Amino acid sequence: MPYKNPVSVLVVIHTPELQILLLERAAHPGYWQSVTGSQEPGESLLQTACREVREETGIPVSPGQILDWQLSQEYEIFPEWRHRYAPGVTRNREHVFSLQVPAGQPIVLSPAEHRAHLWLDLTEAARRCFSWSNRDAILDLPRRLGRS
């Protein structure tokens, strides 16, 4: 299996009422997050975001539906996941996007990746995230949407 690219996307999926979709990792019960995933060779970041949303939630999405925040941050890859990356790679650059969907949007999980999903209000969703970058993105959503 080829190594993962240390460039990824984070897609905060929300309803117009700012209910946030969180997914529970299959291999790590209790680890809640938004859609995330690594960029594959030849993909733009927007294509990666669309692919990851489809793979992880079953939501069909086109690039025009996703909001690119033009924001990225670098963080240390958790030691338990470093084996997925080339030797010596310890940092990942994550690019943030959001996607608004209608309330009641059906979710079809990829069982290999996630075991459950929840729709939560902004504060509770941010509290549940195991990732600080995911938490910060959720809390910044109203401002990004011009609702602060």
- Which uninterrupted H or E stretch holds 109? none
Domain range for 32 = 7-144
The answer to the question of residue 82 being in a domain is: yes
Report phi then psi at 123, rounded to 5. Answer: -65, -45
Answer yes or no: pTM beyond 0.85.
yes
Residue in 95, 106, 120 with CA at minimum distance from that of residue 21: 120
pLDDT tens readout for residues 52-64: 999 999 999 999 9
- Domain membership flag for residue 2: no
| Residue 44 resides in a domain | yes
Tally of domains within the chain: 1
pLDDT class for 1, splitting at 50, 70, 90?
low
Asked whether residue 91 is domain-assigned, the answer is yes
CATH assignment of the domain containing 122? 3.90.79.10
